[in-house]
Amino acid sequence: MTWLPPAPEKQHQPHGSLRPGVGEQPVRVPLRPLSDFYGYDRGTPIDRHYLEGFLHAHADPVAGTVLEVKDDIYPRRFGAARVRHSTVVDIDPTNQGATRIADLGQPDSLPADAFDCSICTQTLQFLPAPDAALANCHAALAPGGTLLLTVPCLSRISVGLPAGDYWRYTPAGLRALLGQHWRGPVSVQGFGNLRACVGLLLGEAAEELPAASLAVVDPAFPLVPAPPPADRGRDAHDRRCAPAAAACRPGGV
């Protein structure tokens, strides 16, 4: 990854001006995206490029008893033979792949101290009470367990659930939310840059962007916020959390 320093203060054009600067060409943006399905029909969605890269880099905790939302793709991909048992949770009773029908936002809807790892990618934005869901996920982790959590900082409104798409999270907002439930300092970084953000909104796939562009991290334009991983704890109040593609060291609720 290439990390950009904060941008210096600049003199901006008057609000609403679309005039290009000297020697610049006008920026042409279509009124409709290239894909109405986040870029899945063109390749890998750009936000998935970042969060899957994180899961690949921090796959060791995906082992033992693993909880995943909606399907078990990530436990199989990143845990493989290390996963002893996988539970798929979904609120939708028609999901034939779900092994547990439950509302993550409902306290005690998950068994306590049951999972060595919980993978919750791009889910909190659909929950009216994300703080309650985090408390529930925390309680469901076994001692020393790990929560791998991803959230969007920027995304189009959900295609399938527009009326239930509630939230977006800046790194500071995610840090504040986690701080309500996970004891100890929480560090959150953002991954992505202006080009990646624009590409996601346009519906471009990660394969359509130069690898060098995807590798740049600009803190002014995060696409996926993520706290870094910490050492696994062992006592009953020592569980860790990995949002948006990462992990943080928590204690108790």
CATH number where 120 lies: 3.40.50.150
Q: How large is the average pLDDT for residues 111-139?
A: 93
Model pLDDT, residue 58: 83
Least confident range of 104-118, 128-142, 207-221, 230-244: 230-244
Q: Identify the residue with better confidence: 38 or 23.
A: 38
Helices within the chain (DSSP H only): 46-57, 73-74, 130-140, 171-179, 194-202, 211-214
Q: How confident is the model at residue 197 (pLDDT cuts 50, 70, 90)?
A: very high
- 135 in a domain, yes or no? yes
Joined together, the tokens standing for residue 119 give: 């993978």
Gyration radius of the chain over CA positions: 19
Q: Identify the residue with better confidence: 10 or 117.
A: 117
Give the residue from 159, 146, 241, 139 showing the smallest Cα distance to 203. Answer: 159
Domain count, the chain: 1
Model pLDDT, residue 178: 87
Q: How confident is the model at residue 65 (pLDDT cuts 50, 70, 90)?
A: very high
Give the residue from 59, 22, 211, 212 showing the smallest Cα distance to 148. Answer: 59
- 206 in a domain, yes or no? no
Range of the domain at 87: 57-187+229-243
- 166 in a domain, yes or no? yes
Residue with tokens 């439930």, as numbered in its chain: 181
Q: How large is the average pLDDT for residues 81-85?
A: 97
CA distance 88 to 7: 43
- 25 in a domain, yes or no? no
CA distance 175 to 183: 12
3 state SS of 171 = helix
Model pLDDT, residue 10: 53
- 141 in a domain, yes or no? yes
- 99 in a domain, yes or no? yes
Kindly tell me if the per-residue pLDDT of 17 is higher than 70: no
Model pLDDT, residue 190: 84
- 173 in a domain, yes or no? yes
Model pLDDT, residue 225: 80
Least confident range of 55-59, 87-91, 177-181: 177-181
Question: In the predicted model, what is the mean pLDDT of the chain?
Answer: 84
- 5 in a domain, yes or no? no
How many residues appear in the chain? Answer: 253
Q: Parallel, antiparallel, or unpaired: how do β-strands 2-3 and 216-217 relate?
A: parallel
